[in-house]
Structure 1
Amino acid sequence: MRKPEFITAKEAVSRIKSGTTLCTIGMTMVSACETILKELENSFLETGTPNQLTYVHTCGQSDRSAGAVYHMANEGMTKRVIGGHWGLCPRMMELISANKIEAYNLPQGQMANMFHSMALREPGKISKIGLGTFIDPRIEGGKMNDRTKPLEDIVDVVTIDGEEYLRYKEIPIDTLLIRGTYADENGNISTQEEAMVLELLPAVMATKRFGGQVICQVKNIVKAGTISPKDVIVPGVLVDAVVLCDNPIQNHRQTSSWYYDPSYSGQALAPEAGEEPIPLTVRKVIGRRAMMELEPDMIINVGTGIPNDVIGAIIAEEEIGDDITITVESGIYGGVPAGGIDFGISKNAQALIPHDRQFEYYNGAGIDYTFMGAGEMDEKGNVNATKMGDKAPGAGGFIDITARAKNVIFCSTFTGKGLKVSFDESGMHIIEEGKIRKMVKKVQQISYNGKIAGEMNQNMVYVTERAVFRLTPEGPMLIEIAKGIDLQKDVLDQMDFKPLIAEDLKYTDTRIYLEKWSGLKEILINKKRR
């Protein structure tokens, strides 16, 4: 029987050659191979090798201060990055904005499913996802800085049966780093204590198709036969080397904020009662108003930004978990999603499915509702959530999910940088206006195409703390404003374009400004009775 070698992290790094392509699988700090990646960075800083790597990763992998992608964010070490998201790694964004690295951004779901196409020797991943956005080669081709613009396209347009599609070209992988909880003596890998299922096996299959090597970091090594065959995620015959984590408390954490909590990986259920409500902030107000768009018995998705920070907590606080099903792009159904740097995991989830399979649902049937953060909207209803000034966080799952969702609810403050507001039972009041306008003539980067959304009859609503817009075929229409603000001074004068204004312009329900509110349950019950 073919078995992997059991080696040290230093030995693993010696197998990664300069000028080759390295891929890592994980999200945030979940399943990050920290033992290997730390050694890889140390090797470069001490010896200058390996260098000029092409680094591929589907998801955002870091926690804003260290870990995962951070170890690869060294000038000269990484020549090219092809990634899904960098919002949690400021150092990588700095390299991109300073033109010190070649940078391509692709939709996270397309990247996850590219592994299947590569493993099957297909002529690329064929999809309509990304058409009309900055991923489209006729716009930017996913190239995130001036250094990358003259380089080859890794996405092109193809026509099949008279319809346009994007073709995401294959990316040969030389080395794949994955993480498991256990490896047995034959190298069979299980992931019981990992908080996500991820796309480990498809990535392994793609790597093997190109003759690449698979190296797995594990927390424990157990006797052959210990792992149930159904719990084996990657068979040992497909693994080239196994690295036992040297310091699990630091280098094999379940996620950034804690080492291991069984309620996030399905080994136990944690009590949910008695959790403190999150403070009343402008983000919570926006989240409450956004969720008023919901219909009962819907399946929803929650993205990064404001939704990630508040919507899971609002669902728990308002006790509407039985009225809807919440999902997260990582493959989670139900439970109470974690937020911030621990995005992508959920306490007491009902189901955890592979990350790549989740995007088959989002890209195929389409989610009922998605709640997404946003940075800018223009007069055509285009939305930018992927590049702000010289910072390029990238798409993550944004483009995949919004392209096919039946209802897209964007959540954003009306202006940025310095906005201060207050709330009371009479409405909201602006204490200090933000310095950055978000309602612009033309967005810096098209992450969401308003014209295509209109042609699909997609229901798009853009929610802010003071104004709510609905996308129409003629452009964004202002349908609601907050009591306490002046329509002309606080809304229209703060926009670079003039929106359509609904004849029956409404006021926002002021109950969302109360410290304690239980109105969402009532709203969903009333909608169900209709």
Structure 2
Amino acid sequence: MSEPSQTLETTTVAPRICEPDELARLVPDGATIAITGTGGGVLEPDAVFAALEERFLAEATPHDLTLVHALGVGDRDRRGTCAFAHAGMVRRVIGGHWTWSPQMARLAADEAIEAYVLPGGVISLLLREIGARRPGLITATGLGTFVDPRQTGGRANSRAKDTLVELVEFDGQEFLRYRPLRVDVGIVRGTAIDPNGNITLAGEAAQLDAFAVAQAAKASGGIVLAQVQRKLDTPLNPRDVHLPRFLLDAVTVVPGQQQTYLGAHDPALCGDAPAPPFEPAPPASPVRRLIARRAAAQVRRGDVMNLGFGISSEVADVLAEQGRLGEVTICIEQGHTGGVPLSGDMFGVCAGPEITLPSTTQFDLFGGGLLDATYLGMAEVDATGSVNVSRIGGGIIGPGGFIDISQSARRVVFCGQFTAKGTRLQVADGALRIEREGSVGKFVQAVDEVTFSGPQALARGQDVLYVTERAVFRLTTAGVELTEIAPGVSVERDVLPHMGFTPIVRAPRLMDPPLFTAVTAGAR
């Protein structure tokens, strides 16, 4: 790792106010940069990223950077980590989620960079541990998955050679130790800076791991660069300070800073206005809504639960349709509890949240057993009950918070279609009709990459269900068991021939026919 910049000494007085291009010049070649942010432009220091990109394209510096980010940051086009996705600008990337920057994923696929993938919560918590100068993060998160050193250890391409994760044992129990690294530069964002140099995130759509990023850089002897939307004339209330001045070295003020990619400031997204009434989105398709409705049947009154991206996010719409949303508490890894979760590219944002915590705190709560249940997507399921969502078709996706969440919830419900690519289904008359079978089976003999370990789940005593439109499966000590079949579907014709393994088939019951009628009535 490189030595931190010598052009700016760290200080305990108010940070210096600079233009974005001045901040970019404080980043030396070879630096390890930790950033905060998540999809949809949330807490993204976009002006600093743009200045760094502009400087590299004009002067070929800073180059050979190591980029560390817990969650996906960008818009799949030009923003977020896309600004760093130039050959020579980065040498190594340690990321929790990669899909928001296809350019960076291509650099990894082309072996132009060293690519590492770790759980999103692990990266955030590791930054916190670095900030306290502790010997890395010791946790069970990741055991039995691809980040376990007995599998890939998080190495995502052949250029990635270093050992970032070690297997350790305490009192006869296995853990993973994620090794600390030196952070030369932390890049964070806030809403406003007061005359004392303290920053508040009160107008932001999430707090994420901004404090941990700054803490890690400072403890490493590095520098912290921040972006805010405005200056304040009076000091902040001490309870509103999220980034204290002693963690900051230089700050740029960007009056045009947007709260999210949605543009205009929305007071509901930062908790300054109540959530609007939750209005269920119309079903994207009857099949997706059918799966979500069957998954929602697993929800219990009083559950503290988490929802993932895609079909699983529609469980909230189903609960709202059924008048049950007020019976549960929904928590998401970006730090929010309650409120109205946004979907699509704004997944991770809530309107009118009841509680907003740093994502590091939220991941700690998840690890401590907060979640009764989680509802997540699935790309592949294998004979051991293991699930892959992190590497599809050989391409890097990354787990985001999937591993941290799926290992800690007492009940796990995976949601997805039974086959993909060309599947044509019709939901009508209380039954399912398969008009054309998909060419890609999602139930395979062995997943390409283990993002969720079935054997580890059994050892933890988790209750695991796999919900599709035509069948429901449960993980048992004897294997994956087919427990329910859709009306109109034949086990021998429509299920078993399209699986890469043979599940346990005892006496599967019929999926509730009213689920199919309700979907037909609600389809658009």
TM-score range normalised by the length of the shorter chain: over 0.9
Report Cα offsets for 1:324-363 as digits up to 9, x if no partner.
1111111111111111111111112111111001111111
Structure 1 residue corresponding to 2:108, chosen from 79, 96, 107: 96
Looking at structure 1, the residues matched to 461 and 279 of structure 2 have their Cα atoms a distance apart, in angstroms, of 42
- The worse-fitting range, judged by mean Cα deviation, of 370-379 and 65-74 is 65-74
Structure 1 match to 2:147: 135
Looking at structure 2, the residues matched to 399 and 432 of structure 1 have their Cα atoms a distance apart, in angstroms, of 33
Matched, 1:13 2:24: yes
Alignment of 1:61-100 (within 5 A): 61-100=73-112
Structure 1 match to 2:205: 195
Report Cα offsets for 1:245-291 as digits up to 9, x if no partner.
15x2xxx3222233321111111114316666344432222111111
Partner of 1:311, secondary structure, is helix
1:317 Cα offset (Å): 2.8
State the identity %: 36
Partner of 2:395, secondary structure, is coil
Structure 2 residue corresponding to 1:111, chosen from 123, 135, 160: 123
Report Cα offsets for 1:118-153 as digits up to 9, x if no partner.
1222111001111111000111101111222xx111
Structure 1 match to 2:9: none
Contact 1:58 1:108 in 2 (8 A): yes
Contact 1:119 1:207 in 2 (8 A): yes
Looking at structure 2, the residues matched to 66 and 315 of structure 1 have their Cα atoms a distance apart, in angstroms, of 36
Letter in 2 for 1:284: R
| RMSD over equivalenced CA pairs, Å | 1.7
Alignment of 1:227-238 (within 5 A): 227-238=236-247
Letter in 1 for 2:205: A
1:43 Cα offset (Å): 1.4
Q: TM-score, normalised by structure 1?
A: 0.93
- The number of aligned residues is 510
Structure 2 residue corresponding to 1:153, chosen from 149, 163, 170: 163
Contact 1:425 1:511 in 2 (8 A): no
1:425 Cα offset (Å): 2.6
Structure 1 residue corresponding to 2:229, chosen from 214, 219, 222: 219
Letter in 1 for 2:363: F
Contact 1:425 1:510 in 2 (8 A): no
Contact 1:424 1:514 in 2 (8 A): no
Alignment of 1:233-244 (within 5 A): 233-244=242-253
Looking at structure 2, the residues matched to 349 and 516 of structure 1 have their Cα atoms a distance apart, in angstroms, of 32
1:115 Cα offset (Å): 2.1
Report Cα offsets for 1:413-433 as digits up to 9, x if no partner.
111122221111331112222
Letter in 2 for 1:240: D
Looking at structure 1, the residues matched to 182 and 197 of structure 2 have their Cα atoms a distance apart, in angstroms, of 24
Alignment of 1:311-390 (within 5 A): 311-390=315-394
Structure 2 residue corresponding to 1:433, chosen from 431, 434, 437: 437
Partner of 2:226, secondary structure, is strand
Letter in 2 for 1:90: P
Structure 1 match to 2:424: 420
Report Cα offsets for 1:280-325 as digits up to 9, x if no partner.
43222211111111111111001123223x2333333332121111
Alignment of 1:33-72 (within 5 A): 33-72=45-84
In structure 2, the CA distance between the partners of 1:190 and 1:161, relative to structure 1 (3 Å rule), is same
1:185 Cα offset (Å): 2.5
Partner of 1:322, secondary structure, is helix
In structure 2, the CA distance between the partners of 1:517 and 1:112, relative to structure 1 (3 Å rule), is farther
Letter in 2 for 1:460: V
Report Cα offsets for 1:10-45 as digits up to 9, x if no partner.
000001111110111111120111111111111112
Structure 2 residue corresponding to 1:258, chosen from 245, 263, 266: 263
Matched, 1:272 2:282: no
Letter in 2 for 1:133: T
In structure 2, the CA distance between the partners of 1:450 and 1:272, relative to structure 1 (3 Å rule), is same
1:484 Cα offset (Å): 1.8
Structure 1 residue corresponding to 2:290, chosen from 279, 285, 290: 285
In structure 2, the CA distance between the partners of 1:283 and 1:501, relative to structure 1 (3 Å rule), is same
Contact 2:289 2:519 in 1 (8 A): no
Contact 1:425 1:514 in 2 (8 A): no
Contact 1:4 1:239 in 2 (8 A): yes
Q: TM-score, normalised by structure 2?
A: 0.94
1:228 Cα offset (Å): 1.2
1:206 Cα offset (Å): 1.6
